[in-house]
Structure 1
Amino acid sequence: MSHTTDTTTGIRSEKAPTVSFTYAAFLLAGLAFLLVAPMFFYPIFLMKLLCFALFACAFNLLLGYTGLLSFGHATFFGGAAYFTAHAVKEWGWTPELGVLLGVAGAAVLGLVMGFVAIRRQGIYFAMITLALSQMFFFFCLQAEFTRGEDGIQQVPRGHLFGFIDLNVATNMYYFVLAVFVIGLAVIWRFVNSPFGMILKSIRENEARATSLGYSVAHYKLGAFVMSAALAGLAGGVKSLVFQFATLTDVTWQMSGEVILMTLLGGIGTLIGPIFGAGLVVTLQNYLATSDFPVTIITGVVFMVCVLVFRRGIIGEFYASRLGRRLGFEHRQ
């Protein structure tokens, strides 16, 4: 991929991204597989995988492209799940409006949390997001509309646009798939826009970006809100898939889980978080009925990946000789 240097700022940036034939073929093959996947796999498992893959991609937008490690992304995922579930069940909203409310609510939460957190860097930023996330967890525990420890149960899926019955598993799956593809397209466009290029420069050298006149705090806040909104999109859809929203969605363990998914797949790549989410969700699904402790097995897998694949599994593939030969080394 070629580069240019902005003569007014001095920041070396990439030109508009191009998609190689191999990369495009890879993406099309993945999409084709997802289109026929319900014929071979349990639809609920696939929908869970897609929801968490989108959640991981949203988190990667903040960590991989902006360099901000948040321990509070469960707030946006779980908060949107609560907002969507309440709107659909108690107010009788259609599923698409419920999901949009969840996205808007997550964006507002991201704006508030980000406004406070971006004032600090490094571990202090991470600890502030964790503290604010725990505050939201206790709010959800006490708030009346969340039903406390019981959560919001029996959430109706309803009819999409008034005529597509989401109670039919196939219809629900393709709705989730459409949301996933749209979310992924938004992330790709955001990352490869001029705004995204500035985020990468902030990640690489924040002091230089500041010295060149960029309002680093504003760009960080924008990335934080976008990441929160997309995490909310995943959470809102998840509440419709499983037809409930509970405290599990807003715990710190959920924030840790999405970090694990992203690191396993490879931060700073578009495909990495999807692969990481697929790996974790598959382990959870197939080990749940076995005698093996899921958390220990997942921990061992994570430890091996950290020791062997320092860039994550997909990140290491991109950097390998085969990945470079196929033209993946610059893919994000």
Structure 2
Amino acid sequence: MARGSASPAAPAVAAHPRAGTLKIVLLLIAAAALIAAPFFLYPIFLMKLLCFALFAAAFNLLLGYTGLLSFGHATFFGGSAYFTAHAVKVWGWPPEFGILLGVAGAAALGLLMGVIAIRRQGIYFAMITLALSQMFFFFCLQAAFTHGEDGIQSVPRGHLFGVIDLSNATNMYFFVLGTFTLGMLAIWRFVNSPFGMILKAIRENEPRAISLGYSVAEYKLGAFVMSAALAGLAGGVKALVFQFATLTDVGWQMSGEVILMTLLGGIGTLVGPVVGSALVVTLQNYLATSQFPVTIITGLVFMACVLLFRRGIVGEFYASRLGRRLGFRSES
């Protein structure tokens, strides 16, 4: 359905009088589960899930709240991974400064790409981001510091603030969890700020926003750079988790994967991309050693979700009677 068109109104459902308390309880349960998870599940799997969850949430900031579909977000995720890995391994930077460099590099790439693509709309915007992303892919293939097809390997995790040994899996997990939490809080604050409200207005009816005097291009560019920086945060942390950065991180397949995660979970919801990424990463992890072809199974799951959950898994829950009773709502 096109943005700005009328959608069928859902039947009015009164929110539960203790909806706010129930949300807090659910949040505390989720926090407790994440804190206890590394003692019951493989930490590397959990860290991969959190990195991709943050990546998908950053992408959703652009698609779900601004209405811009980018086919080039792997540029920021993989570019940051390369910058962080190079700074930590070759220059000997501590991990926190390596990640900050990755975030800054991703934001700079986002600014450059955004200035070129942001004045286009729809499929033209998506195709420009894809073309620019492919240009960056070939740059990474040829550049000396990326080591071409070999990538940057054996990246040391180092010591956080010179004290915490990140080579310890538990320490590394809680560092990734803290980074994920800060990233999600930043997205929540951004979405619920006056700037975020204007982005939603632009998404719903851009001509009206222009008529009200807003500089639409500048707001879109700001959202694009913010999304790129957060995707870079996910990429930089991922490089430390797996201790390498390769061409896979900047390939168009990675951009397609984050789109899939976001659509599965539900665009325009804060939690949706997290659920979608958890589903995809779990399928990849547990089917990798089986005889089942992972891509086919993932495709079948995507087809089922498109047919049964048009708004995504979380989006459909929000639209359900129970979701509305609990006070949840989707921004899409």
Flag whether TM exceeds 0.5 (same fold): yes
The Cα shift of 1:329 comes to: 2.7
Distance in 2, matches of 1:180 and 1:331, equals 22
Name the counterpart of 1:134: 134
Name the counterpart of 1:195: 195
Q: Deviations over 1:22-48 (max 9, x none)?
A: 222212211110000011100000000
Distance in 1, matches of 2:53 and 2:186, equals 14
Q: Structure 1 runs of 4+ off > 3 angstroms?
A: none
Is contact 1:77-1:236 (8 Å) kept?
yes
Name the counterpart of 1:110: 110
Name the counterpart of 1:63: 63
| One-letter amino acid of the structure 1 residue matched with residue 251 of structure 2 | T
CA distance change for structure 1 residues 265 and 97 in 2, over 3 Å: closer, same or farther? same
The Cα shift of 1:52 comes to: 0.1
Distance in 1, matches of 2:320 and 2:117, equals 36
- SS for the counterpart of 1:154 is coil
State, as a whole percentage, how many aligned pairs show the same letter: 81
Aligned runs of 1:287-302 on 2, under 5 Å?
287-302=287-302
Is contact 2:64-2:331 (8 Å) kept?
no
Is contact 2:265-2:312 (8 Å) kept?
yes
Is contact 1:82-1:146 (8 Å) kept?
yes
Distance in 1, matches of 2:79 and 2:65, equals 24
Name the counterpart of 2:15: none
Is contact 2:268-2:331 (8 Å) kept?
no
Distance in 2, matches of 1:71 and 1:170, equals 34
Is contact 2:268-2:330 (8 Å) kept?
no
Distance in 2, matches of 1:292 and 1:114, equals 40
The Cα shift of 1:123 comes to: 0.2
Q: Deviations over 1:27-84 (max 9, x none)?
A: 2211110000011100000000000000000000000000000000000000000000
Is contact 2:269-2:330 (8 Å) kept?
no
| One-letter amino acid of the structure 1 residue matched with residue 318 of structure 2 | Y
Is contact 1:77-1:250 (8 Å) kept?
yes
The Cα shift of 1:21 comes to: 1.6
Is contact 1:22-1:327 (8 Å) kept?
no
The Cα shift of 1:328 comes to: 1.2
Distance in 1, matches of 2:232 and 2:330, equals 29
Aligned runs of 1:140-159 on 2, under 5 Å?
140-159=140-159
The Cα shift of 1:331 comes to: 7.5
Aligned runs of 1:164-203 on 2, under 5 Å?
164-203=164-203
CA RMSD of aligned residues (A): 1.0
| One-letter amino acid of the structure 1 residue matched with residue 39 of structure 2 | M
Distance in 2, matches of 1:293 and 1:251, equals 21
Distance in 1, matches of 2:59 and 2:67, equals 11
- Name stretches of at least 5 consecutive residues in structure 1 with no aligned partner: 1-18
| One-letter amino acid of the structure 2 residue matched with residue 105 of structure 1 | G
Name the counterpart of 1:38: 38
| One-letter amino acid of the structure 2 residue matched with residue 218 of structure 1 | E
- SS for the counterpart of 2:44 is helix
CA distance change for structure 1 residues 77 and 330 in 2, over 3 Å: closer, same or farther? closer
Aligned runs of 1:1-332 on 2, under 5 Å?
20-329=20-329
The Cα shift of 1:330 comes to: 5.5
Distance in 1, matches of 2:251 and 2:31, equals 32
Is contact 1:85-1:152 (8 Å) kept?
yes
Distance in 2, matches of 1:329 and 1:61, equals 16
Is contact 1:318-1:329 (8 Å) kept?
yes
Distance in 2, matches of 1:219 and 1:313, equals 29
Distance in 1, matches of 2:258 and 2:244, equals 20
How many residues matched?
A: 314
Distance in 2, matches of 1:117 and 1:41, equals 42
